Structure 1
């Protein structure tokens, strides 16, 4: 199976601090891959490099064969990478439906004049976007709350909405940054099922950062472990989680 994401020798330094050094990663199309490690290991820095927030000092990033080095965050999103954040970043005062439609704007457009004058092309496009947004919300069992303000949803449903909005951009690769953060065990179990369904229903390639080892062990097919910006271990999930160096560095045992 072909690689969806290919990362070679990715490195970045902030002043004299080498935050990520010689990072390599290959994720196959349709794979659900985990990136784990202690706090401060460099995981979010890797996400910021993949999405163009940071520019690497050296290295290569390819998405489905396309070189992403030098592209900005918008260009990378349009190329096919979408992400969620550890701290939820929904449009809290917008409806659930409009949050998903915000992701659809990459693919459905009308002119400013059409929008201002409410011309037929505006109404036609809005109708298509409404239907597509509801279709995505149904996947997450959120269509019944499409007119709610996003900020009024329970925490677990806000997490699901953020994933739904990311999927609306039609990504090739979905980056999930600690999606289980702040969730109770029942919410985490539901999230695991949601992520599995997203992978299968959308044939999605997923890279996941997570501290909940039950979730990681339950859904990730393979893992890379970072420690102090360097790869400590990589391979099949069960093997990596039982690696003595990983247990020492990550679990503190």
Structure 2
């Protein structure tokens, strides 16, 4: 059974079908790419998968559970986490606190426990600090734990956003153009990071990306969107050599 199964996903804005009859199946542990020209509907698909938009039609199943139309918070608790093309960190908070913000799916204390600083509050805070530091160490960010997130270099901000997403303990990680704004050296490092996350956390990953070197280097299968519809799907090498895909990208 697929970890993510999507059928007939459709949404319209003002009569325009931004996504039309979208379908995809992603197996557990896969590193899967969603590609297409600008405006093809890729980020709209991510917004549908994460509850930002509710589809007009279609079904989204995660690990057999129907999550169609659920709120963003409930979908995150069900097991989908994401990053964004434009980094959305809590820039006025520390690196450590950014990761701790993602841990509240797992660690809990009541408002009263927090206000009164009861022993249970300190116990949970200690556990959260320890887990957050473990995640930061994975990304070689533990030495910057007390830095403001805004003071990190761009490449490290990308890593911090992935660490925060992983803190929610997802089954499926959505990466929205993770290489955006990176230089070639940073992109190579990012490829290693994504592979490491998949292998170390036994994570299933779906990514949107325009950098075809990154896509061809790490994605096992691809879905290509064009004008909101699936153009083709399959193994990465086959898809990237499909004349329809080449035409869609070149605009011929």
**Aligned ranges 1:1-253 → 2 under 5 Å:** 2-252=1-251
1:70 shift after superposition: 2.6
Return the alpha-carbon distance in structure 1 between the equivalents of residues 68 and 232 of structure 2: 25
Return the alpha-carbon distance in structure 2 between the equivalents of residues 69 and 5 of structure 1: 12
Deviation digits for residues 10-41 of structure 1 (CA, Å, limit 9, x no counterpart): 10111110111111100000000000000000
- TM (norm. structure 1) is 0.98
What secondary structure is seen at the aligned counterpart in 1 of 2:20? Answer: strand
Structure 2 unaligned residues grouped into runs of 5+: none
Query: Does structure 1 conserve the Cα–Cα contact (< 8 Å) formed by 2:67 and 2:75?
Result: yes
- TM (norm. structure 2) is 0.99
Runs of 4+ in 1 over 6 A off after TM superposition: none
Superposed CA RMSD? 0.7
Structure 1 unaligned residues grouped into runs of 5+: none
Return the alpha-carbon distance in structure 2 between the equivalents of residues 251 and 168 of structure 1: 39
Return the alpha-carbon distance in structure 1 between the equivalents of residues 58 and 227 of structure 2: 18
1:114 shift after superposition: 1.1
Query: Does structure 1 conserve the Cα–Cα contact (< 8 Å) formed by 2:55 and 2:69?
Result: no
Deviation digits for residues 69-112 of structure 1 (CA, Å, limit 9, x no counterpart): 13110000000000000000000010000000000011101111
